């Protein structure tokens, strides 16, 4: 599975074009619908892919159900997309979805759900934080009727910030989201349908899944540290997720503003009353001075600006929804059937973007599908 050393910074579109040149249209075959689609977002992960593909190849040799791996290249600038396009798995179908630019991991997952062929979907990470063999455990739970299955992280020693974040989510967001955090998530066609019908921008897809209210089951999974490459989960991404989590799924910030406003108003009223009484009882004790006034102004303006910033976060998301901009834009799609069942690769390059975050273009849902 070594990369061609003569290839550098090849996009998925270029890789798809190269492969398509070698394919006769009459040779393209269509495989059956897979039992489960495993969605794997990737951003500049060419160093991690050889180990991942080796694990997936070994794993798929041992299962008796069909798997489709949907790789979503989130605007990588290295050979991530080219490697995926050139390395089909022996016993599992792969699909490469290339986004036009970097939209973020959660948007990439939404793109993968949209393009997944199976009714059952699962999220997995390139850095393999849990054994690939756990895919079978997730599928078993779903095949027995579960709508939502997630993995609890055992042995995870997160940072202080991560622990505080999880506790705040548990306290203010709720939704049944585990305080230990999760690694993998798998869900049924009911949840898949809702996610495709409600594609949210600037939102946590994990919280959206839990907010739907379907009964969930957990699987204990031993957390594994990344062995190859560096995490692409930057501080900026973490801060954005923190803001998205509370603004999109909790009214706590707005309510906090109201509580702070009421508290400051009471403090100001009590302070004014104390000053008035002191002035009447002992006028000489109260001296006029600008430090007190300046302190009050600084506190007042600080709280006001903080409050306006929180309100602005809600307004920005309302503006995004009104603009109906897509949460992601798909550049190319490359289908690669399992090597053992097909010797050719089907290439399709759509022109349609992701569905709008508005509900105007949704298709009616048949109650029988529930």
CATH of the domain at 337: 3.90.550.10
Mean pLDDT value of segment 333-337? 85
346 plus 311 within the same structural domain: no
What pLDDT is stored for residue 32 in this prediction?
81
At 157-214, the pLDDT tens digits run: 666 666 676 677 666 666 666 666 677 899 999 999 999 998 887 778 888 898 888 9
What pLDDT is stored for residue 52 in this prediction?
93
143 plus 186 within the same structural domain: yes
pTM (2 decimals)? 0.65
Is residue 363 a part of any domain in this protein?
no
Confidence band of 346 (pLDDT split at 50, 70, 90): very low
What pLDDT is stored for residue 340 in this prediction?
65
180 plus 271 within the same structural domain: no
Confidence band of 231 (pLDDT split at 50, 70, 90): low
224 plus 292 within the same structural domain: no
User: Rounded mean pLDDT of the chain?
Assistant: 74
Structural domain count of the chain:
2
116 plus 222 within the same structural domain: yes
The pair of structure tokens assigned to 204 is 């946590």
Mean pLDDT value of segment 3-27? 44
- Among 3-17, 22-36, 262-276, 315-329, where is mean pLDDT lowest? 3-17
Is residue 240 a part of any domain in this protein?
no
175 plus 280 within the same structural domain: no
90 contacts: CB under 8 Å, gap ≥ 6: 57, 60, 61, 338, 339, 340
What pLDDT is stored for residue 280 in this prediction?
77
Confidence band of 129 (pLDDT split at 50, 70, 90): confident
Is residue 2 a part of any domain in this protein?
no
- Among 47-61, 87-101, 312-326, where is mean pLDDT lowest? 312-326
What pLDDT is stored for residue 98 in this prediction?
95
What pLDDT is stored for residue 108 in this prediction?
94
The pair of structure tokens assigned to 21 is 């040149």
Domain that holds residue 93: 12-234+326-358
What is the greatest pairwise CA distance in the chain? 100
188 plus 271 within the same structural domain: no
150 plus 200 within the same structural domain: yes
Mean pLDDT value of segment 95-113? 93
108 plus 215 within the same structural domain: yes
Is residue 21 a part of any domain in this protein?
yes
93 plus 189 within the same structural domain: yes
Confidence band of 238 (pLDDT split at 50, 70, 90): low
153 plus 212 within the same structural domain: yes
What pLDDT is stored for residue 39 in this prediction?
97
Higher-confidence position of 347 and 259: 259
CA 165 – CA 108 distance, rounded (Å): 23
65 plus 86 within the same structural domain: yes
């Amino acid at each position: 599975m070594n990369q061609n050393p003569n290839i550098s910074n090849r996009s998925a579109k270029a890789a798809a074009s190269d492969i398509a040149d070698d394919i006769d249209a009459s040779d393209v075959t269509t495989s059956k619908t897979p039992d489960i689609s495993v969605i794997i977002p990737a951003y500049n992960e060419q160093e991690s892919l050889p180990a991942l593909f080796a694990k997936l190849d070994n794993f798929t040799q041992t299962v008796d159900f069909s798997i489709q791996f949907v790789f979503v290249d989130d605007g990588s600038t290295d050979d991530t997309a080219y490697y995926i396009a050139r390395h089909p798995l022996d016993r599992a179908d792969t699909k490469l979805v290339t986004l036009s630019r970097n939209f973020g991991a959660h948007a990439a997952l939404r793109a993968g759900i949209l393009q997944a062929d199976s009714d059952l979907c699962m999220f997995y990470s390139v850095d393999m934080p849990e054994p690939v063999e756990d895919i079978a455990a997730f599928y078993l739970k779903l095949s027995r009727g579960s709508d939502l299955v997630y993995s609890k992280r055992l042995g995870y020693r997160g940072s202080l910030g991560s622990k505080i974040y999880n506790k705040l989510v548990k306290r203010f967001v709720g939704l049944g989201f585990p305080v230990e955090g999760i690694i993998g998530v798998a869900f049924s066609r009911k949840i898949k349908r809702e996610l495709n019908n409600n594609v949210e921008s600037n939102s946590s897809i994990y919280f959206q899944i839990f907010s739907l209210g379907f009964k969930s089951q957990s699987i204990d999974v031993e957390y594994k540290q990344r062995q190859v490459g560096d995490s692409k989960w930057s501080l900026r991404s973490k801060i954005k997720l923190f803001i998205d989590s509370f603004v999109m799924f909790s009214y706590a910030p707005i309510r906090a503003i109201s509580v702070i406003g009421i508290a400051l108003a009471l403090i100001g009223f009590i302070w004014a009353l104390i000053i008035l009484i002191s002035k009447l009882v002992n006028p000489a004790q109260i001296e006029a001075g600008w430090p007190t006034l300046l302190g009050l102004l600084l506190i007042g303006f600080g709280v006001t600006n903080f409050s306006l910033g929180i309100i602005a976060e809600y307004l920005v998301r309302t503006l995004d929804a009104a603009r109906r901009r897509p949460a992601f834009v798909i550049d190319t799609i490359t289908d690669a059937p399992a090597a053992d069942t097909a010797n050719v690769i089907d290439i399709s390059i759509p022109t349609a973007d992701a569905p709008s975050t508005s509900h105007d273009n949704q298709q009616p849902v048949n109650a029988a599908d529930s």
